Amino acid sequence: ASQYGDMAALPAAELLRALTRDCAGFLRFYQGHAEGAKRLRRDAESLRCLLSYFRLIAPTLARLGDAPAGAELETTRLRFSGTRVSVAAAEEPAELLPVTFDDIVGNAELLAAGRRLARDIAGFDLAAGRNPKGVRNQILFALGAPGCGKTAAAHAIGRYFLSLCDKSGLPARMRVIRRTDWASAYQNQSASRLLEIFKEEVFNAPGVCGVYWPDIDTAFAARGDADVRQEEKANLATLFGILDGTIGPRNGRWFLLCDANTLRMATLSRLSQSPIRALGPVAAEDFVRLLRDIKLRGRARLLPLSEAQWRAFGERCVAEKLSGRSIDNLSGRILTEMEDFDEPDDYFTVSFEEKRKMIERLSRPVDAARIDALLTTHCRFEKDAQARAERDRFVDRVGEIRFHLSAQQAALELSKEVPEREGPPERKQPPRGGGR
């Protein structure tokens, strides 16, 4: 870096000319390289050489001088902030769900921990480059059955975090890790991509960053497989490095929310903190509030149920061991029943607000008996699906046992076919009386 020491003090125009001359010399050096394999022959090779030059020179200049104040530029693909560059197109394609803490029923422990973590990270001081609070744990792990509301809770925490940062003017983003980010058909490429995401978009983000990794147990699944691929080993090493703190700074500038349905004890022992149990709605009042006050909000006129009938509904949900996802499916069926009518001809020509008023006027009420019938149908479907899944698992297990028994039998038969040696071969004696 000593040969570039004077560049940091140059004005912008002089610096650009100096970099252009240096870059041209870099290209000429490789165009006439002594080794034929490194010599540039095609335009594509020259472009890769240019990219290598700028990747080398950028961190060097960043170390030599301070980042220009107020230097912000955003293109369709890249975002520049001082000397930092991030991928603008890497924003989450699907926005966070439009949920808040008020929309979540149950999971109070998870929401409280997520709220505290979001406030801690949102307090990062960008000017000082430090977090005034000693954030000792930047990872929040939730463990719960499918449909318990883990995803909705994580999205509510993410929205709360972004709203806090927006009020204070702190640059922030939420990054959702998807399976395509860490699973690929190429050896080691997915682990490299995973590291790139965390290093470029999270650890070196222009502001603060929150990450949500749903169903992280699918990434852990390969841990117990005997035929684990090299790619999966690299993914696991990267993942455990992020979770145990060996990869990434503990600077209070980012946080990670991750959830799983179930984990092996060997995997749980590698985590740096105990996971929070996400139970979802558990009491009768939870199910009533979730359906009546949240999922069917604003439709009380179309739900002519007494308090006793609502209480009976909630108690049945508890008895059937339903989840929040089941209530979401049930609410969709009820909404379909309410809006099952033929629209008048003028419906298709009026404004949006007029259409809403027309739907509200024509919607039909759904009474307790109909809700109970829909609930019965849903429970029957859930039980049939569970029975089919258990039957399929049983058949698969029987197939595995039969395969191992057949392999043992084949090994025994093969061992019988191999002739047993009675002993070592006899040594031939040299002829007696032979002369030299």
Put simply, whether the predicted model's pTM sits higher than 0.75 gets the answer: no
Comparing 34-48, 80-94, 296-310, 411-425, the range with the smallest average pLDDT is 80-94
Residue 413's pLDDT band (boundaries 50, 70, 90)? confident
Q: Beta 254-260 vs 139-143: how paired, if at all? A: parallel
Q: Domain ranges in the chain?
A: 2-65, 101-277, 284-384
Q: What is the mean pLDDT of residues 175-195?
A: 66
Q: Which has more pLDDT, 68 or 276?
A: 276
Q: 355-407 pLDDT, tens per residue?
A: 999 999 999 999 999 999 999 999 998 878 777 877 887 888 888 788 878 88
The residue-averaged pLDDT of 335-362 equals: 93
pLDDT of 421 above 90: no
pLDDT recorded at residue 91 = 44
Q: Per-residue b/e over 216-225, b at no fewer than 16 CB within 10 Å? A: bbebbbebee
What was the pLDDT predicted at 68?
Answer: 60
Query: Under CATH, which architecture does the 101-277 domain have?
Result: 3-Layer(aba) Sandwich (3.40)
Instruction: Work out the pLDDT band at 40, boundaries 50, 70, 90.
Output: confident
Tens-place pLDDT, residues 105-126? 999 999 999 999 999 999 999 8
Residues of the chain with pLDDT > 70, as a percent, come to 78
Q: Return the pLDDT at 373.
A: 95
What is the mean predicted confidence (pLDDT) over 54-63? 75
What per-residue confidence (pLDDT) applies to 187?
41
Query: Residue 257: beta bridge partners?
Result: 140, 212
CA angle, residues 91, 95, 98, in degrees to nearest 5: 155
- pLDDT of 268: 66
Does residue 170 have a pLDDT over 70? yes
Show Cβ contacts of residue 221 under 8 Å, excluding neighbours closer than 6 positions: none
Kindly tell me if the per-residue pLDDT of 337 is higher than 80.
yes
The confidence score (pLDDT) of residue 385 equals: 79
| Residue predicted with more confidence, 261 or 2 | 261
pLDDT digits (tens, 9 = 90+) for 263-279: 776 566 666 567 899 99
| Confidence band, pLDDT 50/70/90 cuts, at residue 232 | low
User: Residue 319: pLDDT above 60?
Assistant: yes
Q: What percent of the chain has pLDDT over 90?
A: 40
Which residues are CB-neighbours of 267 under 8 A, at least 6 positions away? 220, 223
pLDDT score for 191: 61
User: Which of 227-231, 374-378, 427-431: highest mean pLDDT?
Assistant: 374-378
Q: How far is CA 323 from CA 146, 263, 331, 335, 352, in A?
A: 8, 20, 13, 19, 34
Query: Average of pLDDT values for 218-239?
Result: 59
pLDDT attached to residue 92: 43
- Return mean pLDDT, the chain: 81
pLDDT of residue 235: 62
Kindly provide the residue ranges of all beta strands, DSSP E only, lying in 206-267, ordered along the sequence: 208-213, 254-260
pLDDT above 80: residue 75: no
Residue 290, Cα to own-chain centre: how many angstroms? 26
What dihedral angle (degrees, nearest 10) is formed by the CA atoms of 429, 431, 435, 436?
A: -40
